[in-house]
Amino acid sequence: MHEPSILRREHFDQLLDALKNRGYQVFGPTVRDGAIVYDELGSAADLPVGWTDEQEGGAYRLRKRNDTALFGYVVGPQSWKKFLHHSAVRLWQANRSGTKLQIGEERQTAPKMAFLGVRACELHAIAIQDKVFLGGYFVDPLYKARREGAVIVEVNCGQAGNTCFCASMNAGPTATSGFDLALTEIIEGADHYFMTEVGTPLGAEILLEVLHRPAEQSEQEKAVNIHARTAQQMGRALDTVGIKELLYHNYEHPRWDDVAARCLTCGNCTMVCPTCFCTTVEDTTDLKGEYAERWQRWDSCFTSDFSYTHGGSVRATVKSRYRQWMTHKLATWIDQFGTSGCVGCGRCITWCPVGIDITEEVHAIRGNGRPTKAPAEKDDHGNA
């Protein structure tokens, strides 16, 4: 049992160095093209220092904070699946010479990766993808290699966004397991530090290489208060009581026509979703027929090709595709994997170009009004 520790901001680079010295490539949030994305970090200066994000249905904007928070934002368009479940993977290549056919298996590498800044909802999403890729009869070897080698430094959210609803999905905003280290960022004027919890023996070893001290009771209480305040700030909520039966009994609800009139079938919601895992395969050959490749690529249930079976698409209409996606996420996923397919990260709401809101659609099918809470007014630090 490790007591919580305090890691001061001025020593934060030691954490990155400790990870790098152990041979890990450190990936985390950074600002690029007006958004916070995940990429390789050289030092803490690469983090979104002093930036926060504002989100609403179909809207995302970065703005400066009045402090130098390293993790003062919610989540961006990318999730950790881009590292664990790549968007494009070559499965094999084949060469033909005369009548001889040679198939070359791919040797996929799995670098040692450290994920810094993983949110609680994202930890739950990784756990869901673990079930998909590792929990069944067929194990994805590439996912397995990447996942087993990954170190996770979780950072509890210090504020929630307008499209967040992880609290109602029991997926956040505070992590209780699944991490090697978990941090809560605390800023009080010039006093800037991280309450640090150890989740695994590896996390404890890494922390030993970083200057830290035991957390005082008052500092632990401050972290608990931040966790509670963030849970209260959720911009949205999803009532999950009986949700599986609700959706199973409402395949013909008129709301599916309503949402179909708005949905563009662009597939953004599936691309940004940290749990969506569907793929397709693409074969290409050269013009001489001597060389061929097979690629696995992310796919979306919003394309008509996705359900194409011997002569036609099973889900030919927009209505059937949206209904399939939402019913899978919130109902059939439970039968398939034993959990919901949604962790309430809000990305599908923010990055839907027409602002379709999964929480609003569920409430409409329940026969209730608009479910969203009025966003709490926030100060310049993003605090309600």
User: Residue 123 Cβ, how far from ligand SF4 at the closest point, in Å?
Assistant: 12
In terms of CB distance, is 174 or 240 closer to ligand SF4? 240
In terms of CB distance, is 134 or 237 closer to ligand SF4? 237
In terms of CB distance, is 165 or 194 closer to ligand SF4? 165
In terms of CB distance, is 132 or 356 closer to ligand SF4? 356
User: Residue 264 Cβ, how far from ligand SF4 at the closest point, in Å?
Assistant: 4
User: Residue 11 Cβ, how far from ligand SF4 at the closest point, in Å?
Assistant: 33
User: Residue 185 Cβ, how far from ligand SF4 at the closest point, in Å?
Assistant: 23
* Three-state secondary structure string covering the chain: CCCCEEEEHHHHHHHHHHHHHCCCEEEEEEEECCEEEEEECCCHHHCCCCEEEEEECCEEEEEECCCCCCCCCCCCCCCCHHHHCCCEEEEEEEEEECCEEEEEECCCCCCCEEEEEECHHHHHHHHHHHHHHHCCCCCCHHHHHHHHCCEEEEECCCCCCCCCCHHHHCCCCCCCCCCCEEEEEEEECCEEEEEEEECCHHHHHHHHCCCCEECCHHHHHHHHHHHHHHHHCCCCCCCCCCHHHHHHCCCCCCHHHHHHHHCCCCCHHHHHCCCCCCEEEEEEECCCCCEEEEEEEECCCCCCHHHEECCEECCCCHHHHHHHHHHHHHHHHHHHHCCCCCCCCCHHHHCCCCCCCHHHHHHHHHCCCCCCCCCCCCCCCCCC
User: Residue 343 Cβ, how far from ligand SF4 at the closest point, in Å?
Assistant: 4
In terms of CB distance, is 70 or 271 closer to ligand SF4? 271
Residues that bind ligand SF4 (CB under 6 A): 263-269, 272-275, 302, 329, 342-348, 352-354, 356, 358
